Structure 1
Amino acid sequence: MNIEIPSREEIGKILKKSRRIAVVGLSDQPDRTSYMVSKAMQDAGYEIIPVNPMIKEALGVKAVSSLKEIDGHIDIVNVFRRSEHLLPVAEEFLEADADVFWAQLGLLNEEAYKLLKDKGYTVIMDRCIKVEHALTK
């Protein structure tokens, strides 16, 4: 199976209409990529919800242990977990009120992709949300 990534134009439209991003695997350590990328998105005006059972908060926001703990709609679930962990995150995504599943740069999982695409979700893999945001402003 080929994983098809939406075009840069489509990604730009997604980012323009989105406001709320749940970040799975967000670290509370400022030197970690997940923190730096999420901080940039927060600074750009997005609401960031840390999803990590190992931390209490990140970026001044209380962390939740799972997507299921988030009240209300989520525009994008941005994932910073190794590729082999994407399928369980995708399965949990299906139980959340979310639109877009986004796996960060270097992350791909065909099973997770197929599961979500077969259910009609937008799936973006192997792309950095911060880079895409900068390129589609």
Structure 2
Amino acid sequence: MKELHHPHKDDALEVLKRSKTVVVIGISPDPERPSYYVSERLLSRGLHKVYFVNPKYAGQEILGIKVLPSMLDIPEKIDIVNVFRNPAHIEPILEEAIKVGAGCVWLQPGCENLEVIEKYRDKVRIVWNACIGVEAGYL
């Protein structure tokens, strides 16, 4: 497989600056999990409308936000799909992101699957190799 170009972190920051809605895939109610504390940091900036998606916790509230079962349940355009999932499970997320017309899929560190990135990168913008929580600190 050919070497994939890693998006520069400035590119990630630009994506975040231009975005209004962020959907967190794989949110957990556990404050020790990255999906929780990174989302908390993003929310604390107050610059984005944040939605949470996790079928396991659908209907519950995490950080004051009702968890939805799917991206299909989000009533507005999605700028960033922020993914906290095992790399083996990201392909259906990319397929759903494309289906709903999301602007970008952001794979958090540890979620990258280079085969899947290669397969979908011409269909949707994919950011990886950057943490949205870290980038949010620069906004």
Same fold at TM > 0.5 = yes
C-alpha contact 2:12 2:130 (8 A) present in aligned 1: no
Q: CA deviation at 1:5?
A: 2.6
The percentage of aligned residue pairs carrying the same residue is: 35
C-alpha contact 2:22 2:51 (8 A) present in aligned 1: yes
Give the secondary-structure state (helix, strand or coil) at the position aligned to 1:16. Answer: helix
Match of 1:106 among 96, 103, 110: 110
AA in 1 matched with 2:52: P
Tell me the equivalent position of 2:99.
95
Consecutive unaligned residues in structure 2, runs of 5 or more:
none
Tell me the equivalent position of 2:29.
28
RMSD: 1.5
Q: Which ranges of 4 or more aligned residues in structure 1 deviate by more than 3 Å? A: none
C-alpha contact 2:52 2:66 (8 A) present in aligned 1: yes
The number of residues matched between the two structures is 135
> TM-score, normalised to structure 2's length?
0.88
Which one is further off, 98-107 or 121-130?
121-130
Question: 2 CA distance for matches of 1:72 and 1:117?
Answer: 23
Question: 2 CA distance for matches of 1:95 and 1:84?
Answer: 20
C-alpha contact 1:103 1:125 (8 A) present in aligned 2: yes
> TM-score, normalised to structure 1's length?
0.89
Consecutive unaligned residues in structure 1, runs of 5 or more:
none
Structure 1 residues 41 and 90: alpha-carbon distance in aligned structure 2, compared to 1, 3 A threshold: same
Q: CA deviation at 1:111?
A: 3.2
Question: 2 CA distance for matches of 1:6 and 1:92?
Answer: 22
